[in-house]
Chain A
């Protein structure tokens, strides 16, 4: 055996031993008969630590076999989660998902910081084409498939034709949603840099803003179709535009604040940024509840847009960009590991089992639509054929935004909401496993991995 192979084998053995040890501790904790008050704290800390370490080691093992580290984190979450080994109960997953607020906002900050104006110069056209084509083609193909074939699947055969069409519209919008967090994580992991990477990031971030508008539009349409005597509420679009504008302005101002902090103090910047991200997430939520209870209308600021704008502002409009990105990089690993392992633990495998034929069809249709849209956008913009043939692989991953939207729809339209959530969860299961692997492969194929 060559020394390199021997070293790698030893590393794998060490990692497997670590996993066994953590598993043994977790088995002990699962059987532990805790008192309800202090036991909860002990369990939270233990499983948080175990998940962090176990997912990290699984990521390393995934790296050994050529998979993205991210896939390892997700697989560790799935294994530890309620559907497989059951180390994490559904209530524990729910409690730990509070950290998602922190992680998502932090990842959004990171996404904004990756968005360099100079790097995007000259890529506007291909980004706009991609956004337009992906919205039209992906939405059109998925919604069309759902409308035409929705009643053929056992899972949805009891729905009326109007309900099937409404479900298809919402599924079409959910299919447009991307996962900026996965994109950022893979780009960081692969240290990718170049035109292809910048385009993918630009499209993913733009889609993240656009999806909120699309979803509001779809909800209004479905409301008009499903409610007896229903009609479109156009006022909602004015409010949405206002909320997005206020979120962007709040983000830009926050970016100025961060930049000021970096220039004037700069101490403990990673902690400051974690604190900022968590603060923005919770303050937005609080503001919505406060305006709802005191003024009868909710001002819903989008924490992700605020954080993205803030990151963008520090990187492009301030002087502290280098310190900012260095601080983000320093603590991004634990945030990514935690976020994706929790995402894995929350994947609803029951939903996948229930609806796998429909979910598989939708995932394939979505992938085909993305391929067509990305190829057409690239060809029209004059990108190299290698980029055009590979681009679709970068847009497959899907995560929390689509789940959030589906859950919102479930509250609004109980008649079709459960179907929607179950199918969306199942499709996300597939895309979140396949997406990161495909994106990593795409970055290697276009030769932009390792250039950052």
Chain B
């Protein structure tokens, strides 16, 4: 009964919260409060309130009871995320934008991965045993940048510095690609299995085979034009099936659905219709994800905050340094200010999805501590990112 009550409550919170947050409610608030509010970060705290440390409504057994819902939420978000990668549209941007985005992404991924792998042996044995997997997660969660702050800033700057904002928005829309690959490695190099390349290769092949099967199934369904109610059924059924199958294959439901989404958006003629079905549930699903993540968040452990602050600073340095280098080296980007990277500190929804997904697969104490630390870092980044972004945007520099 508790699971059912919790289910009803979180679904109600997600949908009503979505309407308060993203639709009818438009209060005049300071920028940082608006960013906090519009990124849905308050739902992390609602989840925390509902979790074991406070109201105990979403305790561990209840969360396990709601695990199917969490997997579907991840699958839905993943599928929708994949749908944003239509290669035809991504090619519209200048080459230097792509260079900046990918350089920034790779620089952070390698920087955080290296630091995490170096630091892990310094921690107790539990951390070392999961060292590689946790390092992949930390690197993957560090790279993507949030878009909400940029969108808010674009609206409040009323057309000033459009190129600077366009570059930042482009970077934030594609810097998740490398992170996805890194996150996938966390599943392929499982801590309990072999870390040898052949084990990883077998795992990757299994996952690829399952994804291809799911994609083939989807394409067969879409081989004829079907009416909307049937398309709703097919999309919902496929997300459920893909989430279940990928979890069974020891893989991430998020990544499996992203892969299927990316393939489908680039080959299906029904992509617009499918997108119209997926999109209305995107934000409620994201808020649900934050509630579940908040409920599992450990905030009473000083280690969480210690690692979190170090991780947040390292991530910030990585973002800043990567764009400093590329804007000084690449001729087409020299007109941009050197501290541009500080405008990319806002956390992306993709990072949150990584964390929830990881917490479903790797449930030990060590994993939950690291997830809590990353979450703490992302929340702190969310708090300071509006000021840094404003500073970057207002920096005087001629970009014409």
Quick one: which of A21, A29, A43, A52 contacts B233, CB cutoff 8 A? A52
Q: Is B217 a contact of A22 with CB atoms below 8 Å?
A: yes
Q: Is A25 a contact of B220 with CB atoms below 8 Å?
A: no
CB-nearest residue of chain A to B241: A49
| Interface presence of A174 (CB below 8 A) | no
B281 proximity list for chain A (CB < 8 A):
271
B244 proximity list for chain A (CB < 8 A):
29, 41-50
| Number of A positions contacting B (CB below 8 A) | 47
Q: Is A17 a contact of B15 with CB atoms below 8 Å?
A: no
| Interface presence of A227 (CB below 8 A) | no
Q: Is A11 a contact of B4 with CB atoms below 8 Å?
A: no
Task: Scan A13-33; emit 1 where CB is below 8 A from any B CB, else 0.
Answer: 010011001101100110010
B213 proximity list for chain A (CB < 8 A):
21, 24-25
Take A40-B67, A271-B15 as given contacts and tell me if A49 and B240 are in contact as well, using a CB distance cutoff of 8 Å: yes
**Shortest Cβ distance from residue A113 to the other chain B in the assembled complex, whole angstroms:** 16
B237 proximity list for chain A (CB < 8 A):
49-50, 52-53, 56, 334
| Interface presence of B221 (CB below 8 A) | yes
Q: A267-B19, A268-B284 are in contact. List 7 more A-B contacts (CB 8 A).
A: A38-B363, A41-B244, A42-B243, A49-B243, A56-B237, A282-B8, A333-B232
Q: Is B68 a contact of A41 with CB atoms below 8 Å?
A: yes
Q: Is B240 a contact of A32 with CB atoms below 8 Å?
A: no
A47 proximity list for chain B (CB < 8 A):
244
A29 to B11, CA, bound (A): 29
Q: Is B232 a contact of A331 with CB atoms below 8 Å?
A: yes
A272 proximity list for chain B (CB < 8 A):
15
Task: Scan B1-37; emit 1 where CB is below 8 A from any A CB, else 0.
Answer: 1001100100110010001000100000000000000
B217 proximity list for chain A (CB < 8 A):
18, 21-22, 53
| Interface presence of B223 (CB below 8 A) | yes
Quick one: which of A21, A38, A45 contacts B72, CB cutoff 8 A? A45
| Interface presence of B234 (CB below 8 A) | yes
A-B contacts counted at CB < 8 A amount to 137
| Interface presence of B266 (CB below 8 A) | no
Write the residues of chain B forming the contact surface with A, with a CB cutoff of 8 angstroms: 1, 4-5, 8, 11-12, 15, 19, 23, 64, 67-68, 70-72, 75, 213, 216-217, 220-221, 223-224, 228-230, 232-234, 236-245, 247-248, 280-281, 284, 360-361, 363
CB-nearest residue of chain B to A32: B248
Interface of A is mostly: helix
Q: Is A38 a contact of B241 with CB atoms below 8 Å?
A: no
Take A37-B64, A278-B8 as given contacts and tell me if A49 and B233 are in contact as well, using a CB distance cutoff of 8 Å: no
| Interface presence of A1 (CB below 8 A) | no
A278 to B12, CA, bound (A): 12
Q: Is B241 a contact of A329 with CB atoms below 8 Å?
A: no
A278 proximity list for chain B (CB < 8 A):
8
| Interface presence of A332 (CB below 8 A) | yes
Quick one: which of A11, A28, A52, A56 contacts B240, CB cutoff 8 A? A52
A18 to B215, CA, bound (A): 12
**Shortest Cβ distance from residue A257 to the other chain B in the assembled complex, whole angstroms:** 14
Take A330-B232, A337-B233 as given contacts and tell me if A275 and B240 are in contact as well, using a CB distance cutoff of 8 Å: no
